[in-house]
Amino acid sequence: MTDQTSQAARTACGAIRAGDQGKAVELCGWVNRRRDHGGLIFVDLRDREGIAQIVFDPKHPSFPDAERLRNEDVLRVRGTVRARPQGTENAKLPTGGVEIGVDDLEVLNRSEVPPFPVNGDDDVDENLRLEYRYLDLRRPRMQRNIATRHRIVKAMRDFFDARDFLEIETPMLIKSTPEGARDYLVPSRIHPGTFYALPQSPQLLKQILMIAGFGRYMQIARCMRDEDLRADRQPEFTQVDVEMSFCTQEDVLETMESCMRDVWKRVLGVELGPFPRFSHAQVLERFGSDKPDLRYDLELVNVTSIFEGSDFVVFKSVIESRGAIVGLRYPGGASLSRRDFDALTELAKQNGAKGMVWIALGADGVKSSAQKFVGDEHIGALRYSLDAETGDAILLFADARPAALTVAGRMRGEVAERCGLRDKTKYAFCWVTDFPYLELDEATGRPAPAHHPFTAPGEGQWEFIDSDPLAMRAQHYDLVLNGFELGSGSIRNHKPEHQRRIFEMLGMTPEQIEERFGFFVRALEYGAPPHGGMALGIDRIVMLACGEDDLREVVAFPKNQAARDVMMDSPSAVAENLLRDLSLRSTAPPPER
């Protein structure tokens, strides 16, 4: 009960229970559904907490008004809680044992007919949902997801507060902090021709907070990255951003793992076991991905040695060029038809395979796309190394080692999906550590930091910086859940000479270092403590905790597939004079409508 008004206490619709019988209550909410039945009018009145059934008697003066009620009208109702007549209870609703006999009805506002039903979770076109987001958010699933999001963020804040972290806000108008994406820029009116960058992350500022002596920082931080959209990416997103001084990698891992364990227990009532740890090299070898889905096993196996001496030209040439043949078990896959296998081969090609050899271990014999070249000795060894049984299929991918592993890793996900192994109620976390310092940037083809340039090389790795920088390992770690990267972190370069050396390795001249990061290197020169940290994506965490497949289901006001806010109609053109004030002129053609 909340908010005492006149005679009756205002009560949440969904909070009324059998024990409230005889109580005078006041309810406010939206008409979820109206039913005219046996001379009586029943209205399901909805608020955030749930639904209450209110009943209008034909003899009551409010009856004619009740007859005109439509879905989504907003009401205030006063009445008395009573038991529903025997046989009319609704066991599915927590309020299903009682109803409210209406004494007084006030229609606070009318609603237009909504463009889609609000009283259920039916599939609705995404753009329509986003255009009328206020109605979409009224629906039960979105109400649940947004409330879960609140509880997750609250649990995180409580966790870090209990461990003496300070939540410190960092500004939105800053200078570029590289996280591998484009910056969103904000033109300065006062300083014509110059721009602020919106933060891709608070990385440099949180490191400066360590230099400033705060020791333990956290922030529920908004980040903006101008990247192409995907279902698991939005141009702006929220991270739980963390930094600690005088810490080791182990300290950061322990902190973040405990936080996740705490959140899962408090919010979902799920006890998580210790998170397994793998090196980057291990996950690639065993799962063909740096974000492995560990809800199922289906480990990849390098079966190259089984085909040593094979006459099969594909295998022969791969072995000669020191490539690899990678095997994947497909549980129950022997029942697939030739045509199914052809389709699967096509899919493997779309995923980058040069080809795929399949072997079906049927009860009535073995069939294969390379029948002539797969003998009993191969089958026996494959069965053994892949733990395959009669009824399974085996898929083989031959290529240069990294390419074969990557394709097999992608097909591992496909096989798991087909076998129903991607169980949304399972939560398989894991750590990936010992990343290479550099990786080839797909866009430029040049080496770039696998994390960001503030990351410290691993122990003993400085010696490779001149001779073989691509071989350098970093003190960089990722947390992965069900095949999604939740976030990354690292131990940082706290010595200014080390930070400069990394910038130089990345090809920056002293002038460029000064121009972009001079302020930061200078800060490192004034007694920067050793420090490290991590950031986890809250949107992804909530998405997986809610069993959703799309970030838009857990963000109140997301952008659509084309990075537009279709409710507000943003981005949109602005008046000429506003551009003039900013010393800007648009060279783009006028936007199409």
62 binds ligand ASP (CB under 6 A): no
Strands, E assignment, 363-495: 365-368, 393-399, 429-433, 438-440, 447-449, 476-481, 484-491
Among 66, 325, 534, 542, binds ligand ASP (CB under 6 A): 534
Nearer to ligand ASP, 180 or 352 (CB): 180
Nearer to ligand ASP, 333 or 489 (CB): 489
Binding map of ligand ASP across residues 173-192, x = CB under 6 A, - = no contact: ------x-------------
369 binds ligand ASP (CB under 6 A): no
Nearer to ligand ASP, 244 or 472 (CB): 244
Q: What's the first-to-final CA gap in the chain, in angstroms? A: 49
Looking at 46-54, 301-309, 339-347, 530-538, which segment touches ligand ASP (CB under 6 A)? 530-538
Nearer to ligand ASP, 237 or 341 (CB): 237
When computed from its CA atoms, the radius of gyration of the chain, rounded to whole angstroms, is 30
535 binds ligand ASP (CB under 6 A): yes
Give the up-direction half-sphere exposure of residue 286: CA atoms within 13 A in the CB hemisphere. Answer: 15
Least distance from C-beta 429 to ligand ASP, angstroms? 17
Cα dihedral 567, 570, 573, 575 sign? positive
290 binds ligand ASP (CB under 6 A): no
Nearest-angstrom CA–CA distance, 212 and 548: 40
Give the up-direction half-sphere exposure of residue 195: CA atoms within 13 A in the CB hemisphere. Answer: 10
Nearest to 88 by CA among 79, 102, 98: 98
Binding map of ligand ASP across residues 86-105, x = CB under 6 A, - = no contact: --------------------
Looking at 4-12, 50-58, 529-537, 541-549, which segment touches ligand ASP (CB under 6 A)? 529-537
Nearer to ligand ASP, 203 or 310 (CB): 203
Least distance from C-beta 533 to ligand ASP, angstroms? 4
Least distance from C-beta 206 to ligand ASP, angstroms? 7
Least distance from C-beta 181 to ligand ASP, angstroms? 10
Contact indicator for 98, 84 with CB cutoff of 8 Å: yes
Nearest to 431 by CA among 275, 274, 292, 282: 275
Nearer to ligand ASP, 36 or 254 (CB): 254
Between strands 195-197 and 185-187, the pairing is: antiparallel
Looking at 72-80, 137-145, 366-374, 486-494, which segment touches ligand ASP (CB under 6 A)? 486-494
Across-strand partners of 481? 429, 484
Binding map of ligand ASP across residues 127-166, x = CB under 6 A, - = no contact: ----------------------------------------
Least distance from C-beta 424 to ligand ASP, angstroms? 25
Least distance from C-beta 411 to ligand ASP, angstroms? 28
Least distance from C-beta 239 to ligand ASP, angstroms? 6
Least distance from C-beta 449 to ligand ASP, angstroms? 11
197 binds ligand ASP (CB under 6 A): no
Nearest to 362 by CA among 398, 397, 336: 336
Nearer to ligand ASP, 307 or 477 (CB): 477
Contact indicator for 130, 567 with CB cutoff of 8 Å: yes
SS3 at position 41: strand
Rounded alpha-carbon distances, angstroms, from residue 196 to 67, 187, 209, 362: 57, 6, 20, 64
Least distance from C-beta 304 to ligand ASP, angstroms? 36
Looking at 21-29, 126-134, 285-293, 484-492, which segment touches ligand ASP (CB under 6 A)? 484-492
Nearest to 68 by CA among 27, 116, 31: 31
Nearer to ligand ASP, 19 or 171 (CB): 171
SS3 at position 154: helix
Among 489, 502, 528, 558, binds ligand ASP (CB under 6 A): 489
488 binds ligand ASP (CB under 6 A): yes
Burial status of residue 593 (CB atoms within 10 A of its CB: 0-12, 13-18, 19 or more): exposed
CB atoms within 10 A of CB 297: 13
Rounded to the nearest angstrom, the gap between the alpha carbon of residue 516 and the centroid of all alpha carbons in its chain is: 31
Least distance from C-beta 183 to ligand ASP, angstroms? 14
Least distance from C-beta 244 to ligand ASP, angstroms? 10
Rounded to the nearest angstrom, the gap between the alpha carbon of residue 235 and the centroid of all alpha carbons in its chain is: 13
Nearest to 249 by CA among 493, 436, 535, 491: 491
Among 259, 533, 542, 558, binds ligand ASP (CB under 6 A): 533
Contact indicator for 552, 229 with CB cutoff of 8 Å: no
Between strands 50-56 and 9-11, the pairing is: unpaired
Among 11, 95, 145, 201, binds ligand ASP (CB under 6 A): 201
203 binds ligand ASP (CB under 6 A): yes
Least distance from C-beta 538 to ligand ASP, angstroms? 12
Between strands 24-37 and 9-11, the pairing is: parallel
Among 490, 523, 539, 545, binds ligand ASP (CB under 6 A): 490
Nearer to ligand ASP, 303 or 448 (CB): 448
At 496, phi and psi to the nearest 5? -60, -35
> Maximum distance among all alpha carbons in the chain?
93
Rounded alpha-carbon distances, angstroms, from residue 439 to 113, 160, 259, 262: 54, 33, 30, 34
Least distance from C-beta 162 to ligand ASP, angstroms? 21
Q: For residue 388, what are its two tokens?
A: 């395959």
Least distance from C-beta 221 to ligand ASP, angstroms? 9
Residue numbers at the binding site for ligand ASP (CB under 6 A): 179, 201, 203, 488-490, 533-535
